[in-house]
Structure 1
Amino acid sequence: MKIKQFEYKPLAHYSYALISDGEMAIIDPERDPMQYYRLAKEHNARIIAVIETHPHADFVSSHVQIQKETGATIYNSEKLGADYPYESFDEGDTLKVGNATLKALNTPGHSPDSISIAAEGDGKTVLFTGDTLFIGDVGRPDLREKAGNMQVKRQELAEMMYDTIQNKFTDLPDDALVYPAHGAGSLCGKNLSSENSSTLGNERMGNWAFKKQTKEEFVSTLLDSQPFIPSYFGFNVDINKSGAEILRNSLAEVPFRMNTSQKGIVVDTRSEQNFKKEHLKGSINIQATSEDDKFETWLGSIIEPNEKFHLVIENPGDLERILNRVGKIGYEKQLQSVFTLGEENLVASEQLDLQEFKDHPDNFTIIDIRNKSEVEEGKFFESALSHPLNNLRHTADNIPTNKPIVVHCAGGYRSAAGSSILSNQLSGVEVYDLSDEVTQFRD
């Protein structure tokens, strides 16, 4: 039994392939399935199963595409209420993949339809936990109040998670390998480890959720200070419940234009430096220049599901890469075009006099666009007004405009987006991006 872990860093997502005796199963696949196909070809393995531990909120899965292109059977909990053909995989059900045996465990808590998979083969046990059990944490319980087949309140799901952690893994050995669907940086939990795997024994010793505590104590800890919920999360749950279109077909419908401009909502994916030199007036700078850029998260937080928008890219060679990133969260259907900049309607960003700001900070309105939980841990500027980036387009009109505005986050990436939003929405006031200079003001 061989296990291959795949990581998509921008969303801190892990997917898996299990190969045994010429057969292969894929667990929680990302939107582009080609890497799984390449692995199957390398091992001369036939893909017979694709398993969804739950309908994911933070990315679009390729389970239906894999089914169409390989003939594999989709397995998930019947509680999911999927609209695509599938085989139910719930408590007591087993699946053979080569010489390996996969057993389903119903593990509600992150969602009411969550399952985990215990795989046994070659004398070892591997546990694929989806968004139920992470390394050092458990999945958040507050994403299924407005989306999916079963809409359950966070209190009820948190109580389900307590019962899951207390009871569902007790018969599994300490040396069982734990493979979650997410790591540090994901918004599907709040304190995820940077480790990409663990053992059940290590989690029993070090994960707060396994510590002896009452249900009330567990629920209180789990519900406290969860991160914000991006706008697109419920949208992705519904897409995954129905099944996404084949990726390459869907992306092929997006038009591309050279050296032009477009009206409407424009997202500029270029670097902050190039954006500030010149950009289309009114555009929003959500950078997508490296894997460290949380482009998908912020695109899906700032732009609403089904809201039409255009994208600016640096050069035509970026087209395929950027389109694939848009497709990761299923936003390609609302993407009206991708284009490189022409020469019309271009403006430059205002440049902050940093020394003036240091000497006279009270002469500026300071806007802190970090998340609520970050602000609660401590402010960089006592006078700063909190306007988290994920909601900034909706709260911008509440910001005073009697002074120049300085926007900051924790490191500079988000403030590029925030300052561009405010420059567009607030008239008659200068808006500056503190950018990475904010590091000079940390304690």
Structure 2
Amino acid sequence: MKIKQFKDSPLAHYSYAIVSEGKMALVDPGRNPLQYYNYAEEEKAQIVAVFETHPHADFVSSHCQIHEQTGATIYVSKLLGADYEHKAFDEGDSVQIGEVTFKAINTPGHSPDSITIVAGDEKETALFTGDTLFIGDVGRPDLREKVGNMTAKRVELAKAMYNTMQTKFNDLPDDALVYPAHGAGSLCGKNMSTDSSSTLGNERKYNWAFGEQTEEKFVDTILQDQPFIPHYFGFNVDVNKTGAENVQKTKAAVKLQLLVDKLEDGITIVDVRDGDAYKKGHLPNSINIMARNENDKYETWLGAIVKPEEPFYLVVESIRQVRDILERTAKIGYEKQLRGVVTLAADVSKRSDEFDLQEFKENKNKFTIVDIRNDNEVAQGKIFDDAIAIPLNELRERANEVPADKPILVHCAGGYRSSAGSSILENHFPKTKVFDLSEDIRKFS
């Protein structure tokens, strides 16, 4: 069998194509299926199967679109209760594709309905572990308390993960290849390796979750210091359970407006330009979530700040960005709530306050400092002792906790998030000066 790994860097998501004898199977495909179609053409292969390891929380899958366009069978656990046409695929089930046999192992822990796909031929065995087994870690168990066909409390799932790690992989060989759905940078786990694959033998040796330990110790470890949960995670689980619409159609329905100097009142505007450009001129009620390149975690912060189904506009620097920004927005299923993508007129009404670093250094007590890092970052130590700590993903809802009697200075850890945070507080406190410390935070940390 031939295995190709596809990487979506901003979401740290891995998907896979497995080719044998002119047939192709896909595992955990991303929102836009065209990359898989292109690869199928290169390999002169027919896509006949899509395996979903579970209903993903951090991105929208294209499994239903692939089924519609290729006729491929979708395989998921019966426990998912999928609303789309599919074939149940659970422990004891198998399917032959070319010379490769695909089997399922029910591996609950990240979700009640998680499965690991075991693919093997005469030469090798590969495990597509979804969000169950990562390289160096396992999936978080706290995402399915309120969403999905099967809800489960985090302690229940943590115990299920313990049982999975103790029992489900025991009969598989050390040289079995491990291919997870995520790597370092994903919010679906907390201590993932930067490696994109491993072997089961290496994981047994180095992954903490395989170590000899009591259930109590395992549960305590896995539940400690998990990352925050963005607003969109539950929404994506539900979308993936139902099946997303054709992404080319939904993106094409988004309106484009050029050289705009005003938009309707009361609708959130997400401005994806560089922070310096944003501060020189932007529309009222804008939030600056930068999407300059793949290193900017635009998708995550869009889904953490803007709620599912909340209408919003997108502001881009240039027409050249429209295709890419729609693609990135659609990854989390937010393209349908877009009122439009716009470019700005030469003169727009709002300007951000200019920050004087020297004045701040000499008069820190004259500023209200807001630390928008995540809780686990703040727990490792404050950068400014008197700072008010409110994580960025909670800032819109908790802005009233910030006093407005002094100028406000917003900081994060490296400068990316503070642009969004300061723009949120600018909107909330129109009569108070709000400054973004930006990358100057590195002079203090």
Q: TM-score, normalised by structure 1?
A: 0.99
Which among 358, 361, 367 is matched to residue 358 of structure 1?
Answer: 361
In the alignment, does 2:39 pair up with 1:36?
no
1:435 corresponds to 2:435: no
Between 287-296 and 343-352, report the one with greater CA deviation.
343-352
Distance 2:96 2:331 in 1: 30
Show the counterpart of 2:263.
262
Task: Report deviation, 1:315.
Answer: 1.1
Structure 1 runs of 4+ aligned residues shifted over 4 Å read none
User: How big is each residue's C-alpha offset from its partner over 1:114-146, in whole Å with a ceiling of 9 and x where there is no partner?
Assistant: 000111114211100000000010000000011
1:192 is aligned to 192
1:411 and 2:422 are equivalent in the alignment? no
SS of equivalent to 1:411? coil
1:164 match? 164
Aligned mates of 1:132, 1:377 — CA distance in 2: 28
When normalised by structure 2's length, the TM-score is 0.98
Amino acid at match of 2:179: Y
1:397–1:426: 8 Å Cα contact kept in structure 2? no
CA distance in 2, matches of 1:281, 1:64: 39
**C-alpha contact (below 8 Å) 1:136/1:206 kept by paired residues:** yes
d(CA) in 1 for partners of 2:263, 2:90: 49
Whole-Å Cα distance in 2 between the matches of residues 430 and 59 of structure 1?
37
Q: CA deviation at 1:346?
A: 2.3
How far the C-alpha of 1:108 sits from its partner, in A, is 0.2
CA contact (8 A) 2:125 2:176 kept: yes
**What's the counterpart of residue 278 of structure 1?**
281
Q: Deviations over 1:331-353 (max 9, x none)?
A: 01110111101245422211111
Aligned equivalent of 2:426, options 423, 428, 431? 423
Where 1:220 maps in the other structure, the secondary structure is helix
The residue identity in structure 2 corresponding to 1:236 is N
Report the 3-state secondary structure (helix = DSSP H, G, I; strand = E; otherwise coil) of the residue aligned with 1:105: strand
The root-mean-square deviation of aligned C-alpha atoms, in Å, is 0.8
Deviation for aligned residue 1:184: 0.4
In structure 1, the partner of 2:302 is 299
Q: In the alignment, what sits opposite 1:312?
A: 315
Contact 2:281–2:347, Cα closer than 8 Å, also in 1:
no
Which stretch of structure 1 is more off in the superposition, 230-239 or 420-429? Answer: 420-429
Q: CA deviation at 1:267?
A: 0.4
Q: Take 1:326 and 1:206, find their aligned partners in 2: how far apart are those partners?
A: 36
> 5 Å matches for 1:4-83?
4-83=4-83
1:171-190 matches, within 5 Å, as: 171-190=171-190
1:83-121 alpha-carbon deviations (Å, 9 max, x no partner): 000000000111111101111000000000000011111
Mean Cα deviation higher: 253-262 or 131-140: 253-262
Distance in structure 2 (CA, Å) of the matches to 1:427 and 1:65: 45
Cα separation, 2, equivalents of 1:109 and 1:441? 40
Helix, strand or coil for the counterpart of 1:240? helix
Which amino acid is 2:114 matched to? S
Task: Give 3-state SS (helix, strand or coil) of 1:251's partner.
Answer: helix
Per-residue CA shift, 1:288-328, capped at 9, x if unaligned? 11000100100001000010100101111111111111100
Q: Which residues of structure 1 form unaligned runs of 5+?
A: none
Question: Is this contact kept in 1: 2:410–2:437, CA < 8 A?
Answer: yes
What 5-or-longer segments of structure 2 have no aligned partner? Answer: none
Distance 2:430 2:369 in 1: 17
Distance 1:84 1:311 in 2: 31
| TM-superposed deviation, 1:428 | 2.1
Deviations 1:209-229 (A, max 9, x none): 011100000000000110000
CA distance in 1 between counterparts of 2:380 and 2:36 reads: 41
CA distance in 2, matches of 1:262, 1:91: 54
CA deviation vs aligned residue, 1:156-192 (integer Å, no higher than 9, x gap) = 0000000000000000111111000000000000111
TM superposition shift of 1:280: 1.0
**Which residue in 1 is equivalent to 2:217?**
217
Q: Distance in 1 between matches of 2:357 and 2:346?
A: 30
1:93 and 1:117 mapped to 2: Cα distance? 11
Amino acid at match of 2:161: M
Which residue is equivalent to 1:328?
A: 331
**Residue 378 in 1 paired to residue 381 in 2?**
yes
CA separation in 2, counterparts of 1:172 and 1:439?
47
| Identity of matched residues, % | 60
| Separation of aligned partners in 2, 1:99 and 1:388 | 50
8 Å Cα contact 2:13-2:186 kept in structure 1: yes
Task: Give the residue type in structure 1 aligned to 2:263.
Answer: Q
What is the alpha-carbon distance in structure 2 between the residues aligned to residue 65 and residue 23 of structure 1? Answer: 18
Alignment check: 8 A CA contact 2:281 2:348 kept:
no
The answer to whether 1:368 aligns with 2:371 is yes
Which residue type is aligned with residue 154 of structure 1? R
Which amino acid letter does the alignment assign opposite residue 373 of structure 2?
Answer: R
Partner of residue 345, structure 2: 342
What is the DSSP-based 3-state SS (H/G/I as helix, E as strand, rest coil) of the residue aligned with 1:415? helix
Q: Which deviates further from its counterpart, 55-64 or 266-275?
A: 266-275
Q: What is the CA distance between 1:379 and its match in structure 2?
A: 1.1
Q: Distance in 1 between matches of 2:240 and 2:30?
A: 11
CA distance in 1 between counterparts of 2:146 and 2:4 reads 34
Contact 1:3 1:16 in 2 (8 A): yes
Match for 2:442: what amino acid?
T
Do residues 239 (structure 1) and 242 (structure 2) align?
no
Q: What is the aligned partner in structure 1 of residue 136 from structure 2?
A: 136
1:133 and 1:231 mapped to 2: Cα distance?
A: 24
d(CA) in 2 for partners of 1:406 and 1:296? Answer: 25
